[in-house]
Structure 1
Amino acid sequence: MSTADRYAHRKVNATIVLTDPQGKPLAGRPVTVQQRAHVFGFGCTAPDMGEEASETRELWTQLFDTATLAFYWGRYEPIQGVTDRERVMHSAHWLANRGVRLKGHPLVWHTVKAPWVDDLPLSDAEELLRGRIRREVSDFAGIVDSWDAINEVVIMPDFVNEPDGIKNAITRICAKKGRVAMVALAVEEARSQNPEAQLILNDFDLGPRYESLVEEVLAAGIKIDAIGLQSHMHKGFRGEEQLNDICNRFARFGLPLHWTETTILSGDLMPSDIEDLNDYVVADWPSTAEGEARQAEEIVRHYSTLVAHPAVESITYWGFDDGGAWLGAPVGFLREDGTQKPSYSALRDLIRGEWWLDSAELVTDSEGRIFFDAFAGSFDVISGESHVTVDLPAGPAQVEMMFPS
């Protein structure tokens, strides 16, 4: 398959017909077509909203069109009844006003949970969890309509990180109810507040246990909208063969695949014998010139492979810059001082270059038609002082637009 052909399923083959108000084709009319957005979700964790981060936000918006907002229960509601709603809502509106699509992460997780729930009777803890789900989905409906409904449920009933090993309320609820019932809890409560929400089952376990869970969830009639696949590649890039194998194994369920958490290092790799990434603790983990060159190459390979796979609907990178990055790992597109690594321009050359219609100058034929191929998305069609915005999905599309004669 040629390089051009590998993305054919992502492209719209557009025919736009320009007419005057009476329906007469406008022949010989100069037209400019400019892309506004992709159908495919190119995402990242939401940018810092601090005043000092304005330049970082500008670089973020020049690259990504989808943001993941943090809704970790333990941070969102550190004290019962005291939430971070105002700050998160401000971030959500700032991004949405710039055309950024939003996802919340996560509604249910056994880590970064609210510690004040742990000592309560399980029945009370479960009711609070249900109420937390309903509250967040209801409060943000219409602006955040996509959610990681439940995170890492494969290990949830067995998870131990408390001193006495038994106090984690979310783990204990899951152990009592079972994994499938826990997924049902998250999905049903979220749907009760936003029936049209996109709800994602998300996990870092990309092996048979997760496949079995997906099978069981679907067999139980639980409606999930996408399968989330995490890939923190702190021990090295997975490579094209492994990425395609993972996609093929999960594509069999007939649901879109979201690569929800991607990281690729620009510094020394984590030792291969480390099992839990959280166990690797170092005083300093710098980005290096050699690592940055490697990261740029691997970013291109990773995105090119996943965008080429027809089951993949979105990719979310986990950490735009190295300041405050997860585990202190050098994974961002910007160094701690805010300067760009080679990976930034490498990915931008794909998302806003090879995969983007920046500006096409066309002229209508005798039947008022223009033709163009581009990655599916939203486009401005401009002629003279007038313009029309149109959303075009992948495949052949013919649209008629009325312009002043």
Structure 2
Amino acid sequence: MKPPNHSSDRSRGRVRGLAAVLAAATAVAVGLAMPAQAASTLKASAEAKGRYFGTALTRGDLGISAEVNLAAAQFDMVTPGNEMKWDATEPSRGSFNFGSGDQIVSFAQSHGMRVRGHNLVWHAQLPAWVSSLPLNQVQGVMENHITTEATHYKGKVYAWDVINEPYNEDGTLRQDVFYKAMGANYLAIALRAAHAADPNAKLYINDYNIEGINAKSNGLYSLAQSLVSQGVPLHGIGFESHFIVGQIPSSLQANMQRFADLGLDVAITELDDRILMPADSSELQQQGTDYGKVVNACLAVSRCVGVSQWGVDDGHTWIPGTFPGYGAPMMWDSSYQPKPAYTAALNALNSAPNTSPSPTPPVSPSPTPPVSPSPTPPVTGACSATLTTVNSWPGGFQSEVTVRAGSSAVNGWTVKWTWPGGQTISSLWNGTQSVSGSSVTVRNASYNGSLAAGASTTFGFTANGTAATPAVTCTSP
């Protein structure tokens, strides 16, 4: 759904200074009917709910000061629009170029933003040489591409869209070169290769028109069930959410919840809401209602980790070039002025209680009964930790650990436990692990070590062996 290099021929809009941008955004936020001390940016309010609010940027966008200043002020996650796709990173066999992607990562790091890697395997924006390969060479080339790119960005990417848009509208897998070479097994092969290259990154399947319960999302749901039951390192599902104004699926929340019930994270990854132009005031108000619905659906699903808009403002959007006659899909107009959609999204975030996502009861792929969480210790010291098993299967399981600050803020945390029966971690995210025999130590990642008094964050892992909930301890410097 996303054309190559859509930033190169877009209308650039009217550039305003950072002071005007921030003043306008803040003025709208202050004018809302919100609780006292409500956050005035999307990222601050999302972070208070244990989530993120992200955007997509291209290399061309980095040269537009008003756009990137607005992005840095409002968002805490960045997805490269085109710079990590196969045609950009390996245009000819074995010849890799990560320069453009590195620029996006550098921008994110300099502004305290995380990065969502996008993407490793996709039928589109795929160099012709890949599709022209003899089928018996495709798997090796795919695994090499994944390994090389994921290794290059190891430790710099929060999550990868490992497989992008694999489904037809009828719920069958696309007959692309990867399917022709490996059948449906290519998805598991790709996920395992990405996990081996970067064990701490969360791994997603990402697609469009799967937001509601329909044939396409049913096909993906069946696949996700199968992958989880096999212990394949799939950690999440990305819902692209390229909507038309007034057409948010009524089953959005229920659909995300059923994937979450498998023990998977879910995320709104590429949100936009296009309008048949010219847009009138009633359509802009409906767009605001739509954005509010999407944010509220994410907040209602405990494993929905965040929302990302596919772009920043109406002046720099891919929509008119792909859907002629449509436009104005963003929360800011082409002059960087906030629209009702921004007001509604911020209001939805600020109206929700400040709670971090928590695991949902899993759908167990085997008769193994649910494992009870370890007892929650009283938060009297610097921090506490609670380990919960969220999914299990023969030979493996998935767990999540909630770290909570005590009566004072913490700046850095360390969680420790000892395995009771030979268990080993196969993949860990949102933390950094070290292991000595059966003893495990997990320290915070660069982005989740600072917790306000009483606030919490989570990290998770998949492990080999019988599901276990050992006693965990938390310390803070």
Same-fold call, TM > 0.5?
yes
Query: In the TM superposition, what are the counterparts of 1:66-145 in structure 2 within 5 Å?
Result: 66-69=77-80, 70=82, 71-80=84-93, 83-145=96-158
In 2, Cα distance between equivalents of 1:377 and 1:333: 33
Decide which of 183, 202, 207 is 1:198's aligned counterpart: 202
2:255 pairs with 1:255: no
2:303 pairs with 1:294: no
Determine the structure 1 residue equivalent to 2:67.
Answer: 56
Determine the structure 1 residue equivalent to 2:52.
Answer: 41
SS across alignment from 2:101? helix
* 2:207 counterpart letter in structure 1: D
| Partners of 2:135 and 2:180 within 8 A in 1 | no
SS across alignment from 1:313? strand
Deviation at 1:141, TM superposition (A): 0.9
CA change 1:184–1:232 in 2 (3 A) is same
CA change 1:286–1:75 in 2 (3 A) is farther
Determine the structure 2 residue equivalent to 1:8.
Answer: none
2:172 pairs with 1:172: no
| Partners of 2:139 and 2:181 within 8 A in 1 | no
Larger Rg: 1
| Partners of 1:36 and 1:377 within 8 A in 2 | no
In 1, Cα distance between equivalents of 2:225 and 2:151: 29
In 1, Cα distance between equivalents of 2:344 and 2:45: 20
Determine the structure 2 residue equivalent to 1:189.
Answer: 193
Determine the structure 1 residue equivalent to 2:297.
Answer: 305
* 2:223 counterpart letter in structure 1: L
Decide which of 226, 236, 260 is 2:236's aligned counterpart: 226
Deviations 1:22-81 (A, max 9, x none): xxxxxxxxxxxx989443122221366646511111212222211112422123333445
* 2:229 counterpart letter in structure 1: A
| Partners of 1:47 and 1:320 within 8 A in 2 | no
Deviations 1:322-341 (A, max 9, x none): 23423324312233344433
In 1, Cα distance between equivalents of 2:316 and 2:61: 13
Determine the structure 2 residue equivalent to 1:390.
Answer: 451
Determine the structure 2 residue equivalent to 1:332.
Answer: 330
In 2, Cα distance between equivalents of 1:86 and 1:134: 17
Gaps of at least 5 residues in structure 2 are 1-43, 211-216, 321-326, 355-379, 383-402, 411-448, 459-473
| Partners of 2:245 and 2:286 within 8 A in 1 | no
Deviation at 1:95, TM superposition (A): 0.9
In 2, Cα distance between equivalents of 1:286 and 1:84: 40
> How many positions carry a matched residue from both structures?
317
In 2, Cα distance between equivalents of 1:355 and 1:52: 36
Query: In the TM superposition, what are the counterparts of 1:334-349 in structure 2 within 5 Å?
Result: 334-349=332-347
Higher RCO, 1 or 2 (CA under 8 Å, sep at least 6)? 1
| Partners of 1:37 and 1:378 within 8 A in 2 | no
CA change 1:185–1:290 in 2 (3 A) is same
SS across alignment from 1:57? helix
Determine the structure 1 residue equivalent to 2:424.
Answer: none
SS across alignment from 2:120? coil
| Partners of 2:239 and 2:266 within 8 A in 1 | yes
> TM-score, normalising length from structure 2?
0.58
| Partners of 1:117 and 1:125 within 8 A in 2 | yes
Determine the structure 1 residue equivalent to 2:246.
Answer: 236
Deviation at 1:116, TM superposition (A): 2.3
CA change 1:225–1:304 in 2 (3 A) is same
> TM-score, normalising length from structure 1?
0.68
Determine the structure 2 residue equivalent to 1:24.
Answer: none
| Partners of 1:37 and 1:377 within 8 A in 2 | no
| Partners of 1:47 and 1:60 within 8 A in 2 | no
In 2, Cα distance between equivalents of 1:205 and 1:232: 8
* 2:88 counterpart letter in structure 1: R
| Partners of 1:93 and 1:143 within 8 A in 2 | no
Deviation at 1:133, TM superposition (A): 0.7
SS across alignment from 2:191? helix
In 1, Cα distance between equivalents of 2:59 and 2:342: 17
| Partners of 1:258 and 1:313 within 8 A in 2 | yes
Gaps of at least 5 residues in structure 1 are 1-33, 161-170, 269-284, 358-366, 370-375, 383-387
Deviation at 1:400, TM superposition (A): 9.7
CA change 1:136–1:394 in 2 (3 A) is closer
| Partners of 1:147 and 1:199 within 8 A in 2 | yes
In 2, Cα distance between equivalents of 1:368 and 1:185: 44
Deviations 1:358-394 (A, max 9, x none): xxxxxxxxx999xxxxxx9999959xxxxx9436316
SS across alignment from 1:116? helix
CA change 1:400–1:127 in 2 (3 A) is closer
| Partners of 1:157 and 1:174 within 8 A in 2 | no
